[in-house]
Structure 1
Amino acid sequence: MKQLIALLVVSAAALNASAQAPQPPEIAARNYILLDVTANKVLAEREADAPQDPASLTKLMTAYLVFDALKQKRLTLDQHMTVSKRAWDERKGDPSLMFIDTTMTPTVDELLRGLIIPSGNDAAVALAEGVGGSVEQFVAMMNRQAQAWGLKNTSFTNVTGLTQPSHKSSARDVAMIAVHIIQDFPEYYPYYSQKEYTYNKIKQHNRNMLLTRDPTVDGMKTGYTDAAGYCLVASAQRDFPNGKRRLISVVMGTASKEARASESQKLLNWGYSAFDALRLFDGSQAISTVPVWKGAEKTAKLGAAGPVFVAVPRGEGAKLQTRVEHTDPLVAPLAKGQRVGTLKVTTAAGVPVAEVPLVVQEPVELAGLLGRAWDALRLWIK
């Protein structure tokens, strides 16, 4: 995930430096970003690092911490939760509700559905109290997680996304949270594709219109406040000859529910049509074989931790160039998975496309005493 974080904070300017780079369509949003998750590449962005009111996009982080508590077995999906007066009081404000009250004991599974599908503020508070002990402690957990990921433009003061002066995030940071949910908790991601939910005999529809318009969209979260405008994180996965390809768009500050859906759809369609995602190497494939000093083996095979995909303007894939940079001299012992180099992918003009960490595929043990002594002498002469 460190590789993904590094690429997310890189501007799309390097990609657009190429004369052949496709230009994104006009997007009627204050801020946006389009990310190719498969290739770990930002395809387009505008003011993606500007702190904004995130509205209910906040609930992505709320859900992430609940998913983590489930993974750590501090909660179970069938565990019943109490509903505090504080959670019930959410109905006095924003209309985004699951409609729980203090006489109910919904399960964690029910609360997650209420949080994600109708964007229930009451569900957010109930879950926060159940995981953190109090809303305030849970908010502190949210901020610690944001800091651990290096989200420099995010500061949480509540779990719902209601407007407060210091409650901020950015399009890039929101995209980061969304990617973490998809990659860290694939078992829980299907919550975001559910189109409707009925609880307490009240049926509510998911506010993400793209779930019913585009069969390849399988998430993720809407948001609205007067300060934020209409916001949407949309995630789509489409099949291509070289495998599945996932894009995520984040639009913030659009004018209406229809606008956030149509502008997100415009970004996704452009990303899929204007760029190719090329599979350069398989995860098990040796990308380079390099010499090793003082080792029982004289060489080591370097490869990526997983398949290597890159996103390039359509038709430009044949012009890519790759270069391997590695530690030199490379001295044993070497552990499997140890990072010792980088695969750099550029266009023919030298414009950076991707940088992929390279790791040792098989361990290399130390050579015997004589072998180590001989290589030490050779290194000294070198």
Structure 2
Amino acid sequence: MTQAIGATVGHAARIAGLVLVMTGMAAAQDLRTAAPFALLMDYGSGTILYEKAADTLMIPASMAKVMTAELLFREIKEGRITFDTEFVVSENAWRRGGAPSGGSAMYAELGSSVKVIDLMQGLAIQSGNDAAIVIAEGIAGNEANFARMMTDRARELGLSRSTFMNATGLDDPDQRTTARDLALLTAHIIRTYPDLYAYFGKPEFTWNKIRQLNRNPLIAMSIGADGVKTGYLKDAGYGVIGSAVSGGRRLIVVVNGLKTAKDRADDARRLLDWGFRSFETRRLFGANVEVGEADVYGGAEGSVGLVSVNPIEILIPRGSADKLVGKIVYTGPLMPPVAAGKEVARFKVTRGDVEVLDIPLVTARAVEKGSVSQRAFSAMFELSTGFIRDAFKKL
């Protein structure tokens, strides 16, 4: 049993009576994979079930096309393009990504106009490099502009380590990502564009009279897989982002750097099978239940409650014992006025050095500026605690 400890930058967060009495994660890392990079995540709770070099930069190869798909999906969702919008296949797209390239392609014809609905399938199902370049040029004018959009969008989504240099995943020394970033990107796409995400799971697509099966080997395994994307380059090895649903639970797996396509398929399936059978869900807090408090400087109230808009749940392995520690992290104190529902903190659960859960917390209510006397009291308190902190630093 371990008492959760609140932690912040500079101030103490108070957690509302959370004691993590649960079987832990000791068995989680007993699983072995030959992949140099791997991560297994529960989609519903965000719990990390397994990780291996998950934050180490790696070559994404064609898995970069998931970021290309995100930008395309957003353009569709926000109404700037439709399924019937047509983009022209330039000589650049045809030569570098189409039939002459010798790589994965949907075999779009030079100079032809292709509807977005078909390009989307060529990208998601056939991993067409030509489809990716046509999409990039159609949205941003050229692939370099689109690549900058990819990286900017990654930052907006909190993917802090990913840098994209092209829409295809073709080799570039500056194009890098991490297993964690790819898993978080996949979760975002499933959550934000569920109808469009479904195209990743289609078993085949025919274009230009050429029928191609989905390149993702997990799709044909009858394990509930409905996505997402494979990748291969000589310097990167074989990789895959996979997602599958079993018993109402969705898992997302990322492996990369394997030596053969068979190793890629086998390791991804092994991780998914293990994740589905070895864990159970435990609820820590319900939705909008106060998790803890954050200090407010000079407010009408001295603190504000912190809640999650969704239930806070964690997956734990069956039958093992280990300590889990929960903490609230925020930069404080908060400055009024503080709006209700504003994201101001993160709730993190760790097992040793492994962070297994990281979710946002928002303010439970608004806090207005305090009276002159309240602000003066806060100033005096901050001054005194500042002296105390400085004294401890000198010890």
Cα distance change of structure 1 residues 121 and 329 upon mapping to structure 2, 3 Å threshold: closer
Q: Which residue of 2 aligns with 1:260?
A: 264
Q: Please give the alpha-carbon distance, in whole angstroms, between the structure 1 residues aligned to 2:345 and 2:331.
A: 6
CA shift, 1:246, in A, is 2.5
Instruction: Tell whether 2:168 aligns with 1:160.
Output: yes
The partner residue of 1:41 within 47, 59, 69 is 47
Partner of 1:9: none
**Residues of 1 paired with 2:136 and 2:164: CA distance?**
13
1:48 offset after TM fit, Å? 2.7
Corresponding position of 1:269: 273
Q: Structure 1: 5+ residue runs without aligned partners?
A: 1-17
Structure 2 length normalisation: TM-score? 0.76
347, 359, 362: which one aligns with 1:359: 362
Q: Which amino acid aligns with 2:101?
A: G
Give the letter for the 1:237 counterpart. V
Deviation at 1:309, TM superposition (A): 1.5
- Aligned residue identity for 2:68: T
Matches within 5 A, 1:122-201: 122-149=130-157, 151=159, 153-201=161-209
Judging changes above 3 Å, is the alpha-carbon distance between structure 1 residues 127 and 301 closer, same or farther for their aligned structure 2 residues? same
Q: How far off is 1:381 after superposition? A: 9.3
Partner-residue secondary structure (3-state), 1:262: helix
Structure 1 position 315, deviation (Å): 4.4
Distance 1:303 1:199, change over 3 A: same
1:87 paired to 2:89: no
- Which residue of 217, 235, 238 corresponds with 1:230? 238
User: Which moved further from structure 2: 91-100 or 150-159?
Assistant: 150-159
Offset, 1:212: 1.9
The TM-score normalised by the length of structure 1 is 0.78
| Paired AA for residue 259 in structure 1 | D
Matched to 2:268, the amino acid is: S
* One-letter identity of the residue aligned with 1:34: L
1:245/1:277 contact within 8 Å kept: no
1:205 matched residue in structure 2 = 213
Measure how far apart 1:148 and its partner are.
4.2
Which of 205, 215, 219 is the matching residue for 2:227? Answer: 219
How big is the shift at 1:209? 1.7
Task: State how far apart, in whole Å, the 1-side matches of 2:355 and 2:118 are.
Answer: 46
Offset of 1:81 from its aligned partner?
A: 1.6
Query: Which residue matches 1:3?
Result: none
Distance 1:26 1:357, change over 3 A: closer
The structure showing larger relative contact order (alpha-carbon pairs under 8 Å, at least 6 residues apart) is 2
**What is the aligned counterpart of 2:59 among 50, 53, 68?**
53
User: For 1:359, what is the secondary structure of its paired residue?
Assistant: strand
Q: CA deviation at 1:84?
A: 1.1
Cα gap change, 1:344 to 1:108, in 2 (>3 Å): closer
Counterpart check, 1:100 vs 2:104: no
How far apart are 1:62 and its partner, in Å? 1.2
SS at match of 2:121: helix
Counterpart AA for 1:251: V
The answer as to whether partners of 1:25 and 1:266 remain within 8 angstroms in 2 is: no
- The one-letter code of the counterpart of 1:132 is A
CA change 1:69–1:196 in 2 (3 A) is same
Q: Which runs of 5+ in 2 are unaligned?
A: 1-23, 382-395
Alpha-carbon distance, 1:363 to partner: 3.5
- The one-letter amino acid paired with 1:361 is A
Query: 1:82 corresponds to which letter in structure 2?
Result: V
CA contact (8 A) 2:298 2:376 kept: no
Displacement, 1:236? 1.7
Q: Cα 1:302–1:105, aligned 2, differ >3 Å: closer, same or farther?
A: same
Q: Of 118, 121, 131, which aligns to 2:129? A: 121
Q: Which moved more, 1:164-173 or 1:297-306?
A: 297-306
Identity among equivalent pairs (%):
37
Task: Please state whether the residue corresponding to 2:149 is helix, strand or coil.
Answer: helix
Contact 2:25 2:316 in 1 (8 A): no
Structure 2 distance, partners of 1:113, 1:350, is 41
Q: Which amino acid is the alignment partner of residue 56 of structure 2?
A: A
Native 8 Å contact 1:339 1:359 kept in 2: yes
Tell me what 2:82 maps to: 76
Is the 8 Å Cα contact of residues 234 and 249 (structure 1) preserved in structure 2? yes
Query: What are the superposed Cα offsets for residues 21-48 of structure 1, whole Å, 9 maximum, x if unpaired?
Result: 4334221223222222323233222233
Shift of 1:114: 0.5
Paired with 1:144 and 1:298, the residues of 2 have a C-alpha distance of 37
Secondary structure of the residue that 1:311 maps to in structure 2?
strand
Root-mean-square deviation (CA, aligned residues, Å) is: 3.5
SS at match of 1:306: coil
CA distances 1:102-133 after superposition (whole Å, capped 9, x unpaired) = 35322101100001101111111111110010
